[in-house]
Amino acid sequence: MTPPASATFRLSKQTTVAISVLFIALSFFFYQTLLSAAEIWAVSEIFNHCFLVVPGSLYLIYRKRDQLINAQLAPNLWVLVLLVPLIFVQVFGAIGQIQLFTHFALFASLPLIIVACIGFRAALVIPFPLFFMLLAIPVGEQLIPWLQAITADMAVFLLHLTQIPVYRNGLYIDIPSGKFLVAEACSGISFFISSIAFGSLYAHLSYQTNKAKILFFIFAAAVPIFANALRVYGIIMIAHWSDMKYAVGADHLIYGWFFYALVLIIIFLVGERFRNVNSEQQACYTLHPSWNIQSKLNSVLVVLILVIFISGAWQFSMLSGLLNKPANNLTEFKINEYQYKKDEKWGIKFDNADKEIFLTKNGIQFHIAIYHPNNRVGELVSSLNQFYTQDNWSLVGKLEKPNTANWDYNLYQITTGLGLKRSIAQWYQFHQFQTESALKAKLYDTYLKTLNQADIAYSITCSSLDVMNTEQLLSACKTLSKEIDTLLNMDGTN
């Protein structure tokens, strides 16, 4: 059988120039977004693999170049209509510093731009590479608490099976030999997310039927969860058998790396066992696209360039308005009858807030983080904001709110390894608006900034070591919330 020929697609000089200008326009519009994404990829080991996602997607598209050309390229301007909502998401996210929005807008725009340039019919040839680009979005850290809880549950279950006496307190696991904490590093989030990327890519390259691809993807996503629980159980057992001499320091991380490597090899071997893909040697020939295709492609590129440059100018104008907004005098914040004192044992910190205020009254500690709308470093809602130091405290869980409560707040309990417990109530407050939801607070803050009506926003947290007297804590919180409202009204904001 004669192998099919491989086509080399030749572009005109005008098209090449237009593509170069489009690249510059995209760099201008998404500069800060790409920079923030790359910073997360580089700093967080969870997302190191994201550097390879877009180049890998482009290579997968290149491998399908023959099928693309045979599918008849038909550049389509109407696809750009789908790009408009993503532009609004990008600008909205940039104004509110919502990185999830800006990252989604960037990596969802790339497939749409490709579809606009080649048409829907050709895009059906490369659905996986287009969707695979979305895995460059650095998202998934929100799963860490869930994975920690799952890992702790499974490890305790396995300890019960081996008849090891065990007591669980939050994320702390006590056995007769010692105490263990299922920390964030033990959640297995890095292995879980990278396995999803690896599993989806391997399934695409190694299987022909959708059923086989889906089954392998589920397998690749599930194995890391169970394997991580087995790893934690193994570390506890090694420490138990060695009388806490081994697997309690840096060596348990080394054991984890070797274990993850072993699990990855097992996933790969299972995939190879059922692999079913055909490869063909391809010859090459050169294809010069018709004038009609080149003309349509140039039209799409010109419109894209204009849309991106106009959107970039709009975004720059909106951000400049925020930066030039005059700051209120935050030093005038003063509430009577409270002692200004910081509880070092609590460990709450919002490093990039415009102002942090620590108060105490009747044995209850209060923390107020204040953010001005022109603060482009700190965020009211951010994973960097710590409501307690994770070196000393572990989350037990959310507490049930009393029926008498008629306002929004989060109520949960944390504990130390020694069993010391602390109740925490937290909420976000604006002028005439309060919410417990971080998502609602972020969206509301961004909405006000978009309308150029934003003012100071607060994150307020109250804490008490008297975990049996939740009503007293909530009463103190509600009083503080009313006093802040009074200050806002006196200040005449909004």
pLDDT in tens, 69-87: 777 788 888 888 999 999 9
Of the ranges 66-75, 84-93, 418-427, the best mean pLDDT one: 84-93
Pairing of strands 5-9, 283-287: parallel
Q: What is the pLDDT of residues 117-147, one digit of tens each?
A: 988 888 999 999 999 999 999 998 888 889 9
Q: Rounded to whole angstroms, what are the CA distances from 66 to 117, 130, 294, 334? A: 16, 17, 18, 70
pLDDT at residue number 210: 87
* Averaged pLDDT, 400-428: 81
Note the pLDDT of residue 56: 93
191-211: pLDDT as tens digits: 899 889 999 999 998 888 888
Average pLDDT across the chain, whole number? 82
- Residue 494's pLDDT is what? 42
Residue 236 predicted with pLDDT over 80: yes
Element (H, E) at 398: strand 394-398
> Which secondary structure element, helix H or strand E, spans residue 175, and what is its range?
strand 172-175
* SS3 label, residue 401: coil
> CA–CA separation, 16 vs 12, rounded Å?
6
Instruction: Report the percent of the chain where pLDDT is more than 90.
Output: 23
Neighbouring-strand partners of residue 357: 368
Over residues 373-398, mean pLDDT: 81
Alpha carbon distances (Å) from 23 to 12, 17, 87, 184: 17, 10, 16, 38
pLDDT of residue 493: 44
- 430: pLDDT confidence band, cut at 50, 70 and 90? confident
Q: Tokens at residue 476, please?
A: 């103190």
What is the structure's pLDDT at 1? Answer: 43
What number is the average pLDDT over the span 381-403?
80
Contacts of 482 (CB under 8 A, 6+ apart): none
